[in-house]
Amino acid sequence: MSLLRFTGTNIRTSPILNIRFQQHFRLSLELTRPFNILDIGSGAGNSVIPLLELCPNSFVIAADLSVELLVLLREALQERGLGHRCGLLQLNVEELDFEESSFDIVVGAAVLHHLFASENTIADCARVLKKGGHAIFFEPFENGNMILRIAYEAILGDPRSAVLSADVVKFLRAVIDSFEIRKGRDKNLPIYHNLDDKRLFTPRYFRELSERCNFLRYIMYPMHSTERQFENQTLSYLRLETGKGREALPDWAWKTIQRYDSAFSDDVKSDLLIEGSIIMEK
């Protein structure tokens, strides 16, 4: 199982619709300006189309390595009458071969965690951005997901877990194993060559890269509400992976997860990112 098959789906379905992200940009940028935007790892366009709608006078270059996904994106753009405002480009996002200061905004929606050297891609984004430009990423974080891992380990370690169905047990174990593999920065071991989802990030990682790449500042927002965030994320994972809802876990298991939600203040849970928006200003 590839866990980020569905955490990535969560991020990619509506990243630009994140309320705090929109508030930030409406306060700091005039969105009706004609921005030149680069969207990396565009896939079938789950970030491209919201970008075109949010910035109605802008042009977006959508780049992805997969020709098949770009074909799907072209069809979606044509259906919405947006094809004239978007250029499609087959491109390895680890090799951004554009001139310096080419773009006002660079967006990567759930793409960095797939890369061996995401720091190089971030450095390239800084290079191709104009002064005053913004790099925006939407990624999974170690902070909050490791709390989920601890909760799931507690559930599987409980004698009552014998009543759990085989598919739910498989799901919980796969989450635990996936988070263990993806934590940390070093991705040079051979195992990572066969993994699509390689990383969970930390705020420190982006802070250090922001400084190294000479961004003026960076801001991070959680892409989830702090209210019952671990419970809600678990429910989302279960629905996407097993097709089951709350009935997948007994009451005692939900209470185990709820204890982690109640253990932290909202301020702390805002720092325990599960999925986050990262905005870097050049």
Q: Which domains occur in the chain, in start order?
A: 4-141+200-224+274-281 (3.40.50.150), 143-186+228-270 (no CATH)
DSSP secondary structure letters along 153-200: HHHHHSGGGGGS-HHHHHHHHHHHHHHHHH-SS---SGGGGG-S----
Using one digit for the tens of pLDDT, what is the confidence trace for 209-243? Answer: 999 999 999 899 888 889 999 999 999 999 988 99
Give the Cα separation of 85 and 172 in Å (integer). 43
User: pLDDT category, 5, cuts 50, 70, 90?
Assistant: very low
Tokens of 23: 């508030």
pLDDT at 4 (0 to 100): 38
Q: What is the mean pLDDT of residues 40-50?
A: 89
User: pLDDT category, 7, cuts 50, 70, 90?
Assistant: very low
- Whether the CB-CB separation of 195 and 3 falls below 8 Å is answered with no
User: pLDDT category, 25, cuts 50, 70, 90?
Assistant: low
Using one digit for the tens of pLDDT, what is the confidence trace for 162-208? Answer: 999 999 999 999 999 999 999 988 888 888 888 889 999 999 999 99
What residues have CB less than 8 Å from 221, skipping those under 6 apart?
A: 18, 20, 21, 24, 276, 277, 279
pLDDT top residue among 4 and 28:
28
pLDDT at 54 (0 to 100): 86
pLDDT at 19 (0 to 100): 61
> In sequence order, what E strands does 94-142 have?
103-109, 129-140
Name the pTM for this structure.
0.88
Using one digit for the tens of pLDDT, what is the confidence trace for 112-153? Answer: 999 988 999 999 999 999 999 999 999 999 999 999 999 999
Using one digit for the tens of pLDDT, what is the confidence trace for 80-119? Answer: 999 999 999 999 999 898 999 999 999 999 999 999 889 9
